Amino acid sequence: MTTLNEPGAAYRIEAPGPGTIPQPTKGGDQQMSTAEQALRRLELTVTRRLDGLLHGVHQGLLPGPGSETGDSRVYVPGEDDVRRMDWAVTARTTIPHVRDLIADRELETWALADLSPSMDFGTADTDKRDLVVAAVGAIGFLSSRMGDKFGALVLHDEFIHRMPARTGRPALFGLLHSLMDAPRGRIVPDPPDLAEGIEVLSASRRRRGMRLIVSDFLDAHPDLDPEAERAWERPIRRLAARHQVLAVEVIDPRELELPDVGRVAFADPETGKVREVHLSPKVRHAYAEAAAAQREGTRRALRRAGIAHLVLRTDRDWVFDVAQFVLRQRRMSHLAHRRAT
């Protein structure tokens, strides 16, 4: 397993396997310093710009002794504690009522991070891989309260690497270090796809919690019919049936439209195939339509699965997008609660 030695030292690598991401070992001191500074900036960004705005508490999934008050119910003599009597409801209904309590339990969050070769791309101030680390770090820093655990599965090369769920900021820093320092994806014969990663995520940890999926949701053979079922749609539905799921779609503006630059050589990062194309107005228009259809299909598939969908772009302020998304979700949840009552 990838481990971190004494402060200022490089990563120590054991034999690579399905549970580890191989890390570069050259220039250890300088690389560690750069990664540490980047992660510190990420933590400060989340703490200053998001933590005070988005911080909240999570309640347990099962009823039981705790500090959070739940619903009122009729008092059962001999079974209920009179100290939990709900006097307001009792006075209003003239029937003795007690208030149940909800146990405070730790939250276990697992992230599925896509580090396939298609994520090593970016034409703006940052690339898609940087947004993957930013999204995982933001959710990790915001959810790392007392006793909470955070783990990750990573799609990289021919393996699905597993980072065990641990508590505390040091463990989260180690996980983010591994994501930042992972080498660029290689072209492999049969790499695991997103559907396989979601299946492993669903089967590996059955305990209810939060699941984060960060990917560009680009298929090797995309279906441009927005109503067609995606290969990962059924696995993500099964995952959402048990857990709270957040899908973060990472895109670059050049994946949506092509510039007017004449003849260009395109290389597929997943297969290595190269093809020269003349970017005429007709080609650029057809590409823009196909890209829009692919993104719309992703949006509809996630909506059919009942999953929250956040889009991060390499040419936008990701902190603003995360804050706007979460505030919108809270507003919708508050309105739904008001209609229910």
Distance CA 222, CA 97 (A): 57
Per-residue confidence (pLDDT) for residue 111, from 0 to 100:
94
Q: Round to whole Å and give the CA distance between 75 and 81.
A: 9
**Alpha carbon separation from 237 to 221, 240, 308, 310 (Å, rounded):** 21, 5, 12, 17
Average pLDDT for consecutive 10-residue bins of the chain (341 residues)?
30 34 48 53 57 47 46 79 86 87 67 90 85 88 74 89 87 88 82 91 80 90 85 93 90 90 83 86 92 93 92 88 78 63 55
Superfamily the domain 28-55+106-340 falls into = von Willebrand factor, type A domain (3.40.50.410)
Q: Given this model, what pLDDT does residue 297 score? A: 94
- Give exposure, 281-299, as e/b (b: 16+ Cβ within 10 Å): eeebeebeeebeebbebbb
**Among 155, 125, 140, 128, residue whose Cα is nearest residue 18:** 155
* The predicted structure's pLDDT at residue 32: 43
Q: Are 24 and 183 in contact (CB under 8 A)?
A: yes
Residue 72 has a pLDDT of: 80
The pLDDT of residue 9 is 28
Structure tokens at 166: 């641990």
pLDDT at 230: 92
The per-residue pLDDT for 331 is 72
Q: What H or E segment, with its residue span, contains residue 197?
A: helix 194-204
Beta strands in the chain, from DSSP E residues, in sequence order? 3-4, 11-12, 63-74, 97-102, 108-114, 149-156, 159-167, 210-215, 244-251, 262-267, 274-279, 308-313
- Measured between alpha carbons, how far is 341 from 75 in angstroms, rounded to an integer? 23
Residue-level pLDDT at 325: 82
308 phi, psi to nearest 5 deg? -65, 135
Would you state the pLDDT for residue 190? 82
**Distance of alpha carbon 265 from alpha carbon 58, whole angstroms:** 50
Where does CATH 3.40.50.410 sit in the chain? 28-55+106-340
Residue 3, both tokens: 């481990």
